Amino acid sequence: MSKVETRAIAEDLVVVPLRHYGLWIGTAAALAILALIVKALATNPAFDWPTVGKYLFHASIMRGLAQTLLLTVTIMVLAIIIGTVVAIMRLSPSRILNAFASAYIWFFRGAPALIQLIFWFNLSLIVREISLTLPFIGTIFTVKTNDVMTPFVAAVVALSLHEAGYMAEIVRAGIKSVPGGQTEAAGSLGMNHRLILRRITLPQAMRFIVPPTGNETINLLKTTSLVTMIAVNDLLYAAQSIYARTFETIPLLIVVAFWYLFVVTILSICQHYIEQYYGRSDQQAGAARGILHRAFKIGRVAQPA
């Protein structure tokens, strides 16, 4: 075939796209299942939507939600602080500090959260009193363990120590992800250790620390529902106390799920903006997209190369 002929054919021919029959069948099946779910939700009386509406903004549900949020924020802040300290210990040249940090992570990350929670709540079985005694001065104060270790305190202590085990590994991985050349270049410009950590290493480590920390926060929000086991008045506990009286179990569980999903959605959007802030050096000019796309990656499946 001559070159001229080839060109002529290429101009005339119509491209017929490949038909993806499997894709069509799959889509049809998904739509059918969706329709069934919607029908069940709408028609099954057990969902009892009027009751869901009645309790959605109920005062005790709101108090429970506030308690859940307070727990999540307090525990996460403590976990980030403890985790960063443990991470720096793990990266230190001292073998003792290193071993101590490794043991911490091994234990507090390894033992189940629920067991740690019940353990701290029952601390008074091991230690009856907590007191500070100094030599030559005597006892400064003494308190009964049961007075200090309220359900809320037990929840904060147990879950922040547990969460710090995860955070320590996240922070350590973040710091290690920054190439050594960055530290050397900063050193050759006369910057000292503290300046290098604050201005060069940590800002670059944040790009690796933020996404998993966001996941941990979302995870923790839901893990706090474990505290119902030790009678902390959180969102789930509030719902349980209502349906224990009224037997409207399913509607109240829907209320609880709604609020968890609502908070998770807000957190995801916040996480996205924080990631964008620390990843701004990766951006190509004109890469900005609509908020829906940025928050949920909706709008386009394939990225152009």
Partner 1 sequence: MTSRAENQSRFGVPQDSMVFAQGVRKSFGTLEVLKGIDLNVPSGSVACIIGPSGSGKSTFLRCINHLEEVSGGVLLVDGEFVGYDLRNGKLYEVRNDLLCKRRADIGMVFQSFNLFSHMTVLENLIEAPIMVKGMPRGEARDKAHALLERVGLADKATCYPRQLSGGQQQRVAIARALAMNPKVLLFDEPTSALDPELVGEVLLVMRDLAESGMTMVVVTHEIGFAREVGDQLIFMDRGVVEERGAPRDMIANPQSPRTREFLSRVL
Taking phi over 0 as left and psi of -120 to 50 as alpha, with beta for the rest, 138 belongs to: left
Q: Does 286 bind partner 1 (CB under 8 A)?
A: no
Q: Does 177 bind partner 1 (CB under 8 A)?
A: no
The window from 142-150, 178-186, 235-243, 264-272 that contacts partner 1 (CB under 8 A) reads 178-186
| CB-based contacts of 90, cutoff 8 Å, min separation 6 | 97, 98, 101, 102, 105, 168, 172
Question: In one letter, which amino acid is 11?
Answer: E
Q: Does 190 bind partner 1 (CB under 8 A)?
A: yes
d(C-alpha 231, C-alpha 250), whole Å: 21
Total residues contacting partner 1 by CB under 8 A comes to 25
In this complex, which beta carbon is closest to partner 1, that of residue 144 or of residue 193? Answer: 193
**DSSP assignment of 21-34, as one string?**
HHHHHHHHHHHHHH
The window from 56-64, 169-177, 200-208, 239-247 that contacts partner 1 (CB under 8 A) reads 200-208
Q: Does 93 bind partner 1 (CB under 8 A)?
A: no
Q: Does 189 bind partner 1 (CB under 8 A)?
A: yes
Residue for token digits 């309220």? Answer: 150
d(C-alpha 204, C-alpha 263), whole Å: 28
In this complex, which beta carbon is closest to partner 1, that of residue 139 or of residue 188? Answer: 188
Please count the CA atoms within 13 angstroms of the CA of 126 that sit on its side-chain side.
7
Q: Does 303 bind partner 1 (CB under 8 A)?
A: no
State how far the alpha carbon of 279 is from the alpha carbons of 203, 205, 251, in Å: 10, 11, 42
The window from 73-81, 198-206, 229-237, 256-264 that contacts partner 1 (CB under 8 A) reads 198-206
d(C-alpha 59, C-alpha 258), whole Å: 16
* Binding pattern for the stretch 127-166 against partner 1, x by CB under 8 A and - elsewhere: ----------------------------------------
Q: Does 200 bind partner 1 (CB under 8 A)?
A: yes
User: Residue 9's CB: how many other CB atoms inside 10 A?
Assistant: 10
In this complex, which beta carbon is closest to partner 1, that of residue 2 or of residue 303? Answer: 303
Residues in the chain: 305
In this complex, which beta carbon is closest to partner 1, that of residue 48 or of residue 275? Answer: 275
Rg over alpha carbons for the chain, rounded to the nearest Å, is: 28
State which of residues 6, 127, 184, 298 lies at the interface with partner 1 (CB under 8 A): 184
Q: Does 92 bind partner 1 (CB under 8 A)?
A: no
- Extended strands (E) in the chain: 129-134, 138-144
Min separation Cβ 300 and partner 1, Å = 23
Q: Does 186 bind partner 1 (CB under 8 A)?
A: yes
The window from 83-91, 140-148, 243-251, 279-287 that contacts partner 1 (CB under 8 A) reads 279-287
The window from 84-92, 112-120, 126-134, 194-202 that contacts partner 1 (CB under 8 A) reads 194-202
**DSSP assignment of 146-169, as one string?**
HHH--HHHHHHHHHHHHHHHHHHH
* Residue ranges that bind partner 1, judged by CB under 8 A: 179, 181-182, 184-193, 195, 199-200, 203-204, 207, 278, 280-284
